[in-house]
Amino acid sequence: MSNPLYDALIGSKSESSARFVSTESGSNLTYNQFASRAGQVAHALLQLGVRPGDRVMVQADKSIDVLALYLGTIRSGAVFIPLNTAYTAAEVEYFVGDAEPAVFICTPKSENQLKAIADNAGAKLLTLDVDGTGSWFDFCGTTCSAVFSCDRSGSDLAAILYTSGTTGRSKGAMLTHDNLLSNAQSLKQAWNYSDTDVLLHTLPIYHSHGLFVAINTTMLAGASMVFMHHFAADKVMENLKNATVLMGVPTHYVRLLKEPALTKQSVSHMRLFTSGSAPLLAETHESFTALTGYAILERYGLTETNMNTSNPYSNERRPGTVGQALPDIQVEVRDPETGQELPQGETGSIEVNGPNVFAGYWRKPEKTREEFRDDGFFITGDLGFFDKDGYLTIIGRSKDLVITGGLNVYPKEIEAEIDALDGVMESAVIGIPHPDFGEGVTAVVVMCSKDSTSEEKIMASIANRLAKFKQPKKVVFTKELPRNAMGKVQKNLLRDLYSDLYTM
């Protein structure tokens, strides 16, 4: 029997008494204890009728139990689907309807809102709280943890992560065992990860950075983690003494730089700081190096591919770049129209090929075909160029993606909600440089008539329709939106006009 991802990450360590994870409260789990817990999850899912290829959807607060759900789902042969805990019931309804999970696990406080949604999709709804209580815990605790894994191949699905586009509804990126395992192997090699490392884990575990990059790489190396519920700069400084690696988003490093406790001495034992999920400003990179003596290692990835490039571990880490292609991954800058590779220094479409590239979008074959070249390269939608040494610089996005605090926000979704409101003629949502979040979600609105609405009315109306991180930081009003000859809104002009909105 073979289960490629599970076997490599945890199955091979199921007899190990080495520490896998510790929490802020001081509790610890060894690798063999965690493997046993993943076994209980797998058995519980089977008893609920879950079969290979079925989907298991989870919208629950960060905890060791959610990690066990991830590995137990893989072990059972099912497909793991984590959802951002900030998604509202209206947003979750779409994901449940699209994925049709066999089992949906949510927080007890969300149960009443989500029960009808789960019932309509034929999903069994159970609950899990951050302290481990809930109907899922009660059911799972009654099952055994006998050693077994469902037979899977490298091309079988391991997870679906939902990512949005600039138009239409969210798309489920299908990630196989080989996709996730190959990327963890590439990162372990590129970052010199070993069983002596201790990761201070401060990221959410509903997206690829916190779940696949951080946890898969740590498990593959046989390393350990200090597991924090969320990022808090002062708490990070308290726990950093027990770690050798910190993975963060640019917002985290901006906040750490404000901590008096961050000094060369306080981080002298650290081996590696990495940053991703959003562009790291060169000034943040340089300020961190000046204060600590450490150069942050910035890398570049996508939900559909996990990591593609990384600044080198041993050689120069260049501020403003995302480094070079990872082992076994091809990254090219191409002419967006012809698909021809461009010379060094020329800006074009960033495209990727390799074992890390996803299997396509769930139940969207036409969209999948649109995003791939005939030679297998995936069109990322990002624009950039390579320098003479093979370092990639990303200069923008061909899609109107906004990245705020490391989270992706797609303007079309917010615009649809705002445009439907009384008193609004039309809107354009853009990302504006923000000192804390990298980009601040900003809505530029044209009213139907003078004073037909207000910032307060708009914010109140969408509060229960959109996750908090998607809601605009500010709403500004204009008489009309700038358009080109084809009638398309020129968001670049809006970004220029309001570029200092959060720094004034």
Domain that holds residue 482: 402-497
Query: Residues 317, 414: one domain?
Result: no
Nearest-angstrom CA–CA distance, 345 and 65: 47
Number of domains, the chain = 3
The widest CA-to-CA distance across the chain, in whole angstroms, is 70
Which CATH number belongs to the domain containing residue 102 in this structure? 3.40.50.980
What is the Rg, in whole angstroms, of the alpha carbon atoms belonging to the chain? 23
What pLDDT score does 278 carry?
81
Query: Residues 246, 387: one domain?
Result: yes
What pLDDT score does 7 carry?
96
Cβ neighbours for 391, distance < 8 A, ≥ 6 positions apart:
311, 318, 321, 322, 323, 324
Which CATH number belongs to the domain containing residue 406 in this structure? 3.30.300.30
Query: Residues 300, 317: one domain?
Result: yes
Which of the listed residues 152, 181, 213 is the one where a domain comes to its end? 152
What pLDDT score does 400 carry?
75
Q: Is residue 164 part of a domain?
A: no
Q: Is residue 157 part of a domain?
A: no
Query: Residues 92, 61: one domain?
Result: yes
What pLDDT score does 166 carry?
42
Closest CA to 352 of 322, 375, 330, 328: 330
Q: Is residue 338 part of a domain?
A: yes
Cβ neighbours for 282, distance < 8 A, ≥ 6 positions apart:
319, 320
Relative orientation angle of helices 111-121 and 89-99, to the nearest 10 degrees: 20
Cβ neighbours for 184, distance < 8 A, ≥ 6 positions apart:
8, 9, 212, 216, 217, 219, 220
What pLDDT score does 485 carry?
54
Closest CA to 370 of 378, 142, 19: 378
Closest CA to 302 of 338, 277, 335: 277
Query: Residues 325, 459: one domain?
Result: no
What pLDDT score does 167 carry?
46
Which amino acid type is present at position 162?
Y
Query: Residues 423, 445: one domain?
Result: yes
Q: Is residue 352 part of a domain?
A: yes
Query: Residues 84, 203: one domain?
Result: no
Decide the pairing of beta strands 306-310 and 297-302: antiparallel
Q: Is residue 321 part of a domain?
A: yes
Q: Is residue 171 part of a domain?
A: no
Query: Residues 237, 379: one domain?
Result: yes
Residue pointed to by tokens 């404000």: 258
Q: Is residue 257 part of a domain?
A: yes
Query: Residues 142, 215: one domain?
Result: no
Q: Is residue 503 part of a domain?
A: no
Nearest-angstrom CA–CA distance, 238 and 476: 40
- Mean pLDDT, consecutive 10-residue stretches, the chain (504 aa), reads 93 94 90 94 94 98 96 97 94 96 97 97 97 92 71 97 67 97 98 98 95 98 97 96 95 94 97 92 92 97 96 96 96 94 94 98 96 96 93 81 86 88 93 92 95 95 94 96 75 91 86
What pLDDT score does 4 carry?
97
Nearest-angstrom CA–CA distance, 303 and 89: 23
Query: Residues 147, 10: one domain?
Result: yes
Query: Residues 364, 420: one domain?
Result: no
Query: Residues 390, 442: one domain?
Result: no
